[in-house]
C-alpha cells in the first residue's frame, strides 16, 4: 500500500492566477545518461518544463522514492490528458547512488518508467560520488548513509524528499517537500509555467 502525504488544507489557486518566482539556475554539471554518455545537466533541463527528483533504484522507504514515484505517475496522468502539455513537459530522475545505479541499471529503470511513452522521462547518474556531490550541494539535497549498530555503513540512504520544477530556460521555479507533494498542486504549477511561456497570440 502506497504511503500518503498529508493532505493540503487549502484549494490550490487557478493556473495562471499567480507567478512562480525564479529561485536559481541549474548548475552546469556533467552526469551520465543510460548509455554512459556525458550529459550536461543544464542541457537536460532546458527546452521543456522539467520536473526533477533525486532517487535511488533500491530505495524502500515508503515516504521516500516510492512515494515520489507514485506522485510522478499521478502527475504524468494529468499531463498526458492535456494535449497542450505532453510535448512541453518532461520528467528527470537523478540517482543518489552512482556506485550501484550504473548506466546499465538506470537504463532498466528508464525502460520501466517509459512504458507510457507519451511523456519523456529521462534518468541520469554520475560517474562517481565525487562527481555527484557538487550537484547535491547545488540543489540543497542532503544525503547520509545509515550506520549499523557497530558503526559500519549500510546500503540505506537517508535524504529529504524533494522535487524541483524547472522552466524551459533551466531556472528552478518551485521546490516541493513532502508536505507539498500533491499532484494537483504540481499540475497547477506546470500549467502556470505553460501559460507564462506559451507564445502570445
DSSP 127-165: SSHHHHHHHHHHHT--EEEEE-TTS-EEEEEEE--EEEE
CATH of the domain at 43: 3.40.30.10
Percentage above 90 pLDDT, the chain? 67
The conformation of residue 87, written as its DSSP 8-state character, comes to T
Q: Residue 96's pLDDT band (boundaries 50, 70, 90)?
A: very high
Which of 54-58, 61-65, 185-189 is most confident? Answer: 185-189
Give residue 151's pLDDT. 43
Q: What is the DSSP letter of 13?
A: P
Structural contact between residues 164 and 175, judged by C-beta atoms closer than 8 angstroms: yes
- The answer as to whether 73 is a domain residue is yes
pLDDT 10s digits, 140-185: 887 655 444 444 444 556 557 889 999 999 999 999 988 888 999 9
Q: Locate cell 506559451: which residue?
A: 198
Q: Tell me what percent of the residues of the chain surpass a pLDDT of 70.
A: 85
* Residue 185, domain extent: 24-197
pLDDT of res. 156: 52
Q: What is the pLDDT of residues 77-88, one digit of tens each?
A: 999 999 999 999
Q: Judge whether residue 2 has pLDDT over 90.
A: no
Angstrom CA distances, 53 to 57, 66, 158, 162, stand at: 12, 12, 15, 6
Any domain includes 67: yes
Q: Is residue 162 part of a domain?
A: yes
**What is residue 148's predicted lDDT score, i.e. its pLDDT?**
43
**Does any domain span residue 5?**
no
Q: How many domains does the chain have?
A: 1
Residue 171 lies in a domain: yes
pTM of the entire structure?
0.87
Mean pLDDT value across residues 104-124: 96
Question: What per-residue confidence (pLDDT) applies to 172?
Answer: 97
Q: What is the model's pLDDT at position 11? A: 80
Amino acid at each position: 500500500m502506497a504511503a500518503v502525504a498529508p493532505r493540503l488544507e487549502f484549494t490550490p489557486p487557478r493556473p495562471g492566477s499567480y507567478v512562480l518566482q525564479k529561485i536559481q539556475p541549474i548548475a552546469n554539471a556533467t552526469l551520465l545518461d543510460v548509455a554512459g554518455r556525458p550529459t550536461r545537466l543544464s542541457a537536460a533541463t532546458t527546452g521543456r518544463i522539467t520536473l526533477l527528483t533525486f532517487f535511488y533504484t533500491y530505495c524502500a522507504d515508503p515516504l521516500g522514492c516510492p512515494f515520489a514515484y507514485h506522485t510522478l505517475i499521478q502527475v504524468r496522468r494529468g499531463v498526458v490528458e492535456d494535449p497542450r502539455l505532453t510535448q512541453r513537459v518532461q520528467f528527470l530522475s537523478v540517482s543518489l547512488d552512482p556506485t550501484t545505479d550504473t548506466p546499465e541499471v538506470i537504463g532498466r529503470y528508464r525502460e520501466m518508467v517509459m512504458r507510457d511513452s507519451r511523456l519523456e522521462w529521462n534518468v541520469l547518474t554520475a560517474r562517481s560520488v565525487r562527481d555527484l556531490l557538487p550537484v547535491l550541494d547545488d540543489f540543497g539535497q542532503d544525503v547520509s548513509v545509515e550506520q549499523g549498530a557497530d558503526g559500519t555503513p549500510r546500503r540505506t540512504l537517508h535524504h529529504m524528499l524533494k522535487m524541483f520544477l524547472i522552466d524551459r530556460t533551466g531556472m528552478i521555479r518551485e521546490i516541493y517537500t513532502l508536505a507539498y507533494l500533491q499532484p494537483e498542486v504540481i499540475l497547477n504549477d506546470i500549467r502556470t509555467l505553460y501559460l507564462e511561456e506559451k507564445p502570445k497570440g
